[in-house]
Structure 1
Amino acid sequence: MVDYYQQPANSYNQPGYDYTQQEEEWDREGLLDPAWEKQQKKTFTAWCNSHLRKAGTSIEVIEEDFRNGLKLMLLLEVISGEPLPRPDRGKMRFHKIANVNKALEYIESKGVKLVSIGAEEIVDGNVKMTLGLIWTIILRFAIQDINVEELSARDGLLLWCQRKTAPYNNVNVQNFHTSWKDGLAFCALIHRHRPELIDYSTLHKGDPIHNLNLAFDVAEKHLDIPRMLDAEDLVYSQKPDEKSIMTYVSCFYHAFRGGHQVALVCV
């Protein structure tokens, strides 16, 4: 791994998965809605830090801390296990653009077609483009390779959630937004795999804040899944942010699928 902090002395594309469509949808959905932006910042920051901590660092402000490209390149090295080109050490704008371009070129080498995301926007601290880039990274490295009964990525993850929570009362997972607002789906996922951690029979649909905080606390303490969502944001949002919930739920998928993926995705 390149040391990003010491001062100096082949293409893959899963059939049927179109990143171009994903990014066009990102633009159409109006990312800068304040509630969704807040949710995405919290979730994506926590997801990035779950990986960056393995390299002994972290980010605090997502649109600021990736601007010079160094931690962005480091994030990609950590989640991929592959070395990236040596970063430029200068502090001029063109050095920062060069580093971000190295990160973008690496992402594209993994079969991701980047649409309307350029190095200049990341260097300038553009919130929309930075969150869009991190979402693209999450899709490629945490969600794309999910396969459940011939369904992949988002559809595979949704089917997995439906199958795991089907036996539970008051849980009906149909999407990655409103189906999770009362917290019971999160609790059911945990109980299905680790029944000793949650007494599901004591939970009530009418107490969503308790249910959500219980699931988030248990996941953080016992499953090493960092807290990525706020209970209040989910409960009081008419339609919680789908990308934030997908990101968090993907951590449960990898945690419960065992071994290699736990270490790669959410530890």
Structure 2
Amino acid sequence: VHYFFLKAEMALGPVIALLMQPTLHGSMTPASYVKWLEMAGARVALLPYDADDSQVDAVFKQVNGALWIGGEALVPPSARRMYANAVAAYKVGDIFPIWGTCDGFEWMLQIAAENDSVLTTGFDAEDLPLPLNLTAAASDSRLLSECSSMLVGARQYKKMTIRDALSTLPITPNSHHMGVTPADFARFAPLVEAFSVLATNVDRRGKPFVSLMEAKHGLPFWGSQFHPEKSIFEQGRRLPGGEPAQSFDHSPAAVAVSQYFANTFVDACRESKHAFASATDEWESLVYQYSPTTAYQPFI
């Protein structure tokens, strides 16, 4: 009989701070974001939208990365503080990955551009699944460089790769009215210095927008205007009529792409050496302390 023992650092997945969206009575997150991180082996700690600098600094020292989720809120001081901390840490060899989805992606754009007006409104991209228009930068990016050799895996797709699926199938779920056009992206020098555009799209009216980006200079930051978590964890019917809640694809290809993004981001978070002072502190910070509710979208 052969026994295999995990190293201590491999026994438990990284803890990722999920920066929540505001409500009238506090902060909230759709469960889909938590599940998306957990399916890649991470654990999740919730950070309130209105967390002050001391709260952000304390969490930053303990967790291994952060997810900024979708919604409609303005970029909060908590996100600005976390981004500044992560940049400063990277300069001394301390890894702290951040992924921004939809609204979180827009926050990242505003922070990196050093100008909140980088965003424009009027995009017709609500409930809109799209294939990505990959840029030349995509092939050599840390996020996508390996996806051209990874297969979707389901029999009906034969030898289709993750890259093929991303670029040919309408499987990236868009749900936004705000965004940044490629032309506006190029107008802000700090943004161009900070990020590479990996993919673009156009909305129903033909208005172009940046849909995927990666930080330059090795910084572990990524942002997607689309919602990878929706492809797996948001589906259902509106009640009582029974019509589909959303038009997004939940096919094996869409699932494989969502899983690819989650795995890649969580793997980056595994490189972080941040840790809690004690197992008790860690346990008390995790999302398991909360009970889910169907108060906001009972049909999903």
**Normalised TM-score (structure 1):** 0.29
- Bigger fraction of residues in strand: 2
TM-score by structure 2 length?
0.26
The structure richer in helix per residue is: 1
